[in-house]
Structure 1
């Protein structure tokens, strides 16, 4: 059976747009990092203007952009040719390829940057970066209470499903290919209205946890300009927390159309396009926040005077430039070294406990969807 209301080519084209977005963020990453870091290596802040290091960044960005362009072109060609299964394969393989090549090139240029740092004699008197962690949330981060707005959206979604239950057919379409053919059905049961609510709830929990990690993160500041950089970091954290709440509510609102497909008011294709548009909007929002603020607020005060002296260095705690391991640091979360956002201190047992808990919750969610629906 085929659903009406969805142009497969449009859906495929929207899907293909994910690749250039991933490629852009990966190619731009070296330019979004904090002033005292180049390819996950600590350098003097004035070194951002060093011609050799600028050349490394340009070559990295050009290669990642070239790979992204080739993969995007191939994916769009498959979409226009109607090879829909190929688009999905290219989307998954292409995204991992961009990320893998990007991080591989980062390791290559990280080694060059470390060698250049040694050649230039950039050595810090202190082996730790200036940052603090305490029991108080970052003042600029919006309250976690804003995540309670998921509840009325979930309640509305459930109400639509319950009130429209009598109009639902005996067989409910749950999954559809990009050609409009329904590939999975479920028997009509009283649990059906709860399925989209379960998905919204899981999504909301994940984003609320991300919001919480921002509040509990180590608050970074630059050694040479602690007050100004701390303000920039606060602005960055505020923007990221606001983005999470707004973007999450946008996705949850798009998911609220799922019960309407069960009733037959709109097609699955129309609902899918709405969810895809919301997801793309969230991706574009992430890029916008990253470009405007930079990692940890690095782009807020671009014209701050740099220093030729390396004031602090914690390179030894960053394994491969992306994994932070420091038993002497009590913080669980801190800003990433290569990327925009936050990472974890893998030396803390609590981080591993949170990882196990997250995997358990995810597994429970998947099992619930498969068993109950």
Structure 2
């Protein structure tokens, strides 16, 4: 928990400098504005506020960690940990909105020049469809292994472990109980493929040619590779969970700790790679290229960004657009397909869990 809070604090600290050069706290600003004295004061105040709430959240999390679990009670212990996370997130949001409010009077219209590419932009899947099939082959292999060793699965096996690492929920040997992790894993991987497809084909481009366009494509490709890597991680994780009935132990297997450590390492690597590239690949564009025609802003109007976070533009056919404060893409919430993509993962998880729940 403390490692997550510290990591988020560091990310929030540097995030304003990872955006496009003419975007500052989700507001379109003139070139060079971010280096002006007033902008530096706004950034410093944002960082102080973020640091204060992060330290308070960290103190709360440390108290919950070192306090006797028995003295606090499991419920109080859990709520304190949850409160620490919410405190940091709400504090960061408040610091962002306050900074954005101070920048808004200095906003400038985005570049009026519209570009059109003479050739279609690259849309090839990194690794091709063979790489996309890999996670499903892993899940299918685990399913086949379970079929061959069905008789070795006990009549009752643990399906959930409590905070102490001891099983507190059990399931019976049935198709629903045994194959639920594989079905859920396949559904989540399929959802990530859909998001990757949308990132390649339904995303808005800021630049149509030149070094900026090339870096945009490299950034988009990196996002798709991250999604692909997440698919493989989920396939391995759900495959591991599906094999646990063969173990039939009441204690949490040590493999879970290995997966948690691997997940932390992968998250750090993803953040480092994205930070080095910058939003839309702008940190990779040579300075000469930036000086010679980089667009002001991201070619979207500030009024379509609600609170600087939610993009709502009915006239824009794009489904995915670059985040104005963050790394990666967000949805155009004026498009019905965006809401489908937002709610589909939740629906898939709920339906899969309910359908495979033992009766």
Q: Same fold (TM over 0.5)?
A: yes
* Structure-1 separation of matches of 2:225 and 2:115: 23
Partner of 2:348: 361
* Structure-2 separation of matches of 1:230 and 1:90: 46
Residue 99, structure 1, aligned to residue 89, structure 2: yes
Partner of 1:321: 308
Counterpart selection for 1:111 from 101, 109, 122: 101
CA-CA distance at 1:41 after TM superposition: 0.4
1:307-351 per-residue CA deviation (whole Å, 9 max, x = no partner) reads: 899586611221221122222221111111111111122222333
Partner of 1:285: 269
Indicate if the aligned counterparts of 1:247 and 1:282 stay in contact, CA closer than 8 A: no
Query: 1:28-67 maps to which residues of 2 (within 5 A)?
Result: 28-67=14-53
Partner of 2:174: 189
Counterpart selection for 1:173 from 150, 158, 168: 158
Indicate if the aligned counterparts of 2:172 and 2:358 stay in contact, CA closer than 8 A: no
SS of the aligned residue for 1:173 comes to: strand
* Structure-1 separation of matches of 2:161 and 2:115: 49
Partner of 2:215: 232
- Unaligned 5+ runs, structure 2: none
CA-CA distance at 1:268 after TM superposition: 2.5
- Number of matched residues? 350
Counterpart selection for 1:333 from 320, 324, 327: 320
SS of the aligned residue for 1:20 comes to: helix
Residue 261, structure 1, aligned to residue 238, structure 2: no
SS of the aligned residue for 1:104 comes to: helix
Counterpart selection for 1:23 from 6, 9, 16: 9
Give the direction of change, closer, same or farther, for the CA distance of 1:331–1:190 in structure 2 (3 Å limit).
closer
Indicate if the aligned counterparts of 1:261 and 1:268 stay in contact, CA closer than 8 A: no
* Structure-1 separation of matches of 2:157 and 2:241: 11
* Structure-2 separation of matches of 1:116 and 1:138: 36
Residue 242, structure 1, aligned to residue 225, structure 2: yes
Residue 275, structure 1, aligned to residue 275, structure 2: no
SS of the aligned residue for 1:180 comes to: coil
Indicate if the aligned counterparts of 1:236 and 1:293 stay in contact, CA closer than 8 A: yes
* Structure-1 separation of matches of 2:115 and 2:253: 49
1:20-77 per-residue CA deviation (whole Å, 9 max, x = no partner) reads: 2333323322111111100110012322322221232232133223322332343244
What TM-score do the two structures reach when normalised by structure 1?
0.81
* Structure-1 separation of matches of 2:282 and 2:303: 22
1:99-141 per-residue CA deviation (whole Å, 9 max, x = no partner) reads: 2222222121111001234xxxx45573xx7576999564475
SS of the aligned residue for 1:269 comes to: coil
- Unaligned 5+ runs, structure 1: 1-14
Give the direction of change, closer, same or farther, for the CA distance of 1:238–1:184 in structure 2 (3 Å limit).
same
State the Cα RMSD in Å: 3.2
1:150-188 per-residue CA deviation (whole Å, 9 max, x = no partner) reads: 112102222343333322322210111121221111112
CA-CA distance at 1:93 after TM superposition: 3.0
* Structure-2 separation of matches of 1:51 and 1:211: 40
Indicate if the aligned counterparts of 2:276 and 2:283 stay in contact, CA closer than 8 A: yes
What TM-score do the two structures reach when normalised by structure 2?
0.84
Query: 1:74-89 maps to which residues of 2 (within 5 A)?
Result: 74-81=60-67, 83=69, 88-89=78-79
CA-CA distance at 1:254 after TM superposition: 3.0
Give the direction of change, closer, same or farther, for the CA distance of 1:269–1:233 in structure 2 (3 Å limit).
same
Give the direction of change, closer, same or farther, for the CA distance of 1:203–1:342 in structure 2 (3 Å limit).
same
* Structure-2 separation of matches of 1:326 and 1:134: 26
CA-CA distance at 1:249 after TM superposition: 0.8
* Structure-1 separation of matches of 2:99 and 2:339: 30
Give the direction of change, closer, same or farther, for the CA distance of 1:299–1:256 in structure 2 (3 Å limit).
same
SS of the aligned residue for 1:142 comes to: coil
Give the direction of change, closer, same or farther, for the CA distance of 1:269–1:19 in structure 2 (3 Å limit).
farther
